[in-house]
Amino acid sequence: MEPPLVGPGPYRATRLWNETIELFRKGMPLRRHRSLFKNYECCFKASEAVDWLHELLRHNQNFGPEVTRNQTIQLLKKFLKNHVIEDIKGRWGKEDFEDDSHLYRFPPSSPLKPYPARPPYRKEVIKFPDWNVPEAGTSQEHIPVKPLMMNSEMWFKRHSIAIGEVPACRLVHRQELTQANIEEIWKSMTLTHLQKVLALDSLDEVLDTKLVNPKHIIHNVYNVNKQGVVILEDKTKELPYWVLSAMKCLANWPSCSDLKQPTYLGFERDVFKTIADYYGQMKEPLLTFHLFDVFVSVLGLLQKNNKAVEALQVSCLLLPPENRKKLQLLMKMMARISLNKDLPPLCDIAGTRALMVQAFSHCILRSKDEVDLNELLAAKLVTFLMDNCQEILNVPSSLQAVIEEHVVHLRRVQIKYAGADTDTALPGPSFCHQISTDEFEYQRVNGSQEPLAALLEEIAMNKEISVKDKKKKLKQFQKSYPDAYKERFPTPESEAVLFPGKKKQKPQLLMWALKKPFQPFQRTRSFRM
């Protein structure tokens, strides 16, 4: 009975709507009912539908056990309005669904919602500043990687350390990053990180990246107080003083000595209603309309608590600073109120926690087009936010460190060695594609062996260096690249050709060296006739 979790991705709200309809039509028990002295086949009472669907939603991991009966009734009203169900006489649309014994049935066909039309897939390429001509707002469709065509001289300079030499080098000061460059880096790296956490091929289906303001991201990261709450530059966008006082009153109840509040019965309920009315009159939710699909996608990660927290951390950085501050203050108040046992009940028919979710879900998350599962999706997200607000509404330190380190790297002075290839400042990141095994072997052989052979040949044929230096370099080359050396000089004789032998003059022999050692005179017997 428990359906699989619908993960993050485009059209998640529509997918959940279609799946819920299919489960409801497939599993809702149908039987004969009698009404006004007439029998009706294959139908169900309204109260039976509420019971069955409520149980389905509570055990569905896409919605959770905190779905209320009232939310189930609201969903069935939408089912009736969209002709997912009809009354026993075939009426729908203008009828109102109530939790009673009225009879309903399924129409012969219940078309599912079509997926909304989206712009064609556009690959979002990370933009990096052009060091030669930095222009704000420019973009690159692809980041080119210049092929390195090395000759023997270039290879010699690159690998000269291996043969005992260090080439000449110089310091290159990069052009200063403009504010536009820094903003583009923050935007691109933040969106790339969000795409990675959501495990999406592209953010195009859930977010219009053109609407993301990098100034908001930077402000939300750096302009915060000791408690991590955003500091606004425009004070006119702050919460009104009376709303902030009311929120402090309930959040710190009953120890709010700095506030002069009356002590009449039901005072705390009036304060809560004041706060709920202020947030309820906002024309746009705090999480903004254009970020709706992003936050709905994050709901697909709630089973993986750490991933969901990380995704919400990054997503909340995209909010306008005034929205982020209002959300921070509201969530902190809701978390404190829901855990405050000293606070009197704020409602007679609902618990404090359920009341918090019910009162503020609509002002936190909703779609501009009023998607049919708005209430359920918002309630699930607000519940998770309330339980993890302290961590979610903090700045993600790991992302901040990575971006700051990247900016420092781009500003750092670079050491450039003499040589055509190393003098060219190539872009930091590059994109690669898979190649065949044959192509890899060809590149491996031609990319390393041929330049090595050319370098060895240049050393061998260089007439400007002395014989002693040439032998020294050849010996070092043989030690570093024995295979390439053996290929060129397979035998000692082939190596000896480089050093033609000179005619050696025999040293002058001393006469005394030819004489025998001195011996005493000995008389010999002579034979005379």
Q: Which residues contact 395 (CB under 8 A, 6 or more apart)?
A: 220, 221, 224, 228, 313, 317
CATH number belonging to the domain at 181-402, selected among 1.10.150.130, 3.30.930.10, 1.10.10.60, 1.10.555.10: 1.10.555.10
* DSSP symbols for 139-186: --SS---------HHHHHHHTGGGGT----EEEEPPPPPPHHHHHHHH
- Residue 91's pLDDT is what? 87
Q: How far apart are CA 290 and CA 210, in angstroms?
A: 11
Q: How far is Cα 343 from Cα 335, in angstroms, rounded to an integer?
A: 13
| CB-neighbour burial class of residue 288 (10 A; exposed 0-12, middle 13-18, buried 19+) | middle
Q: Give residue limits of the domains in the chain.
A: 12-105, 181-402
Fold match between 12-105 and 181-402?
no
Tokens representing 47? 């109260």
Residue 259's pLDDT is what?
A: 52
| Crossing angle between the packed helical segments 46-58 and 12-27, to the nearest 10 degrees | 130
Q: Which two tokens stand for residue 227?
A: 């408690």
Comparing CA positions, the residue from 310, 316, 337, 330 lying closest to residue 251 is 337
pLDDT of residue 437: 66
Question: Tell me, what's the pLDDT at 510?
Answer: 47
The angle formed by the CA atoms of residues 191, 196 and 202, to the nearest 5 degrees, is 65
Instruction: Please state the pTM of the whole predicted model.
Output: 0.66
CB 57 within 8 A of CB 72: yes
In order along its 529 residues, the chain shows pLDDT tens digits of 466 778 777 788 888 888 999 999 999 999 999 888 888 899 999 999 999 999 999 988 888 888 889 999 999 999 998 889 998 888 888 778 998 999 999 998 877 877 766 554 444 444 444 444 444 444 433 334 444 455 555 655 555 555 555 555 666 666 678 899 999 999 999 999 999 999 888 888 889 999 999 999 999 999 999 888 999 999 899 999 999 999 998 888 887 655 555 667 888 889 999 999 999 999 999 999 999 999 999 988 888 888 999 999 999 999 999 999 999 999 999 999 988 888 888 888 888 888 999 899 999 998 887 767 888 989 999 999 999 988 998 999 999 999 999 988 888 766 665 554 444 443 444 344 455 666 666 666 555 666 777 777 778 877 778 888 888 888 888 888 888 888 878 888 777 777 766 555 555 544 444 445 555 545 545 444 4
Among 318, 314, 333, 308, CA closest to 384: 308
d(CA 180, CA 127): 11
Q: Take residue 13 and report the two structure tokens written for it.
A: 């709200």
CA dihedral 150→152→153→158, nearest 10 degrees, is 70
CATH topology of domain 12-105: Arc Repressor Mutant, subunit A (1.10.10)
Angstrom distance (rounded) from CA 323 to CA 317 = 10
Q: In whole angstroms, how far apart are CA 96 and each of 52, 79, 517?
A: 19, 11, 139
